[in-house]
Amino acid sequence: MPKLPRKLLLPGQYYITNANMILETLLGSCVAVCIYNTKNGFTAMNHFMNDKPADPNDLDTGRYGTTATEYIVKKLLDIDPDVNHYKAELYGGAAVIKAQNSANIGKKNLRVAISMLQAYGIRIVKKEIAGTRGRRIYFDTTNNSIKWRYTGDIPRKYPPRDR
């Protein structure tokens, strides 16, 4: 079986594709919204850092849950407007920094992701969220399977990095 191409999403990035590949990212308090269409093979993933921009003129779409999630949802709905063809999974939102206000960042990010998906009527089928540890996400677009592990764990069952 040939190795699949990989796309690593850094904070503030998103990706939409219908190609067979592995989308991956590393999360702490950030959140990844993973959406897949069960009929046409299109998938999307984002990696956002904050819930919403403090400045309404901030045009950094990928950085914020409100804008990044809305962007990928609208792009997918442009391709297939039937929300019943989509499923979503959420990852991240952990309180990885032991600072007074850091726990709220992850919670706010999760609230906005859930709210945005509900507003568009996209069903959330899995949540691997919160806690105090970061997560590494592997989204295999060939079969819409998403594997994850806590950061620092040995990746026994997960796709190895290409070297």
Whether pTM > 0.85 for this model: the answer is yes
Number of domains making up the chain? 1
Residue 50 lies in a domain: yes
Residue 162 lies in a domain: no
Residue 140 lies in a domain: yes
User: What is the pLDDT, as a whole number, of residue 27?
Assistant: 97
pLDDT confidence bin for 163, thresholds 50/70/90: very low
pLDDT score of 25 more than 60:
yes
User: What is the pLDDT, as a whole number, of residue 152?
Assistant: 75
Residue 163 lies in a domain: no
CATH number for the domain that contains residue 114: 3.30.1330.200
Residue 37 lies in a domain: yes
124 near 88, Cβ under 8 Å?
yes
Containing structural domain, residue 82: 6-150
* Each residue's pLDDT tens digit, 102-145: 558 999 999 999 999 999 999 999 999 999 999 999 999 999 99
* Each residue's pLDDT tens digit, 48-100: 999 999 888 888 999 999 999 999 999 999 999 999 999 999 999 998 877 65
Residue 131 lies in a domain: yes
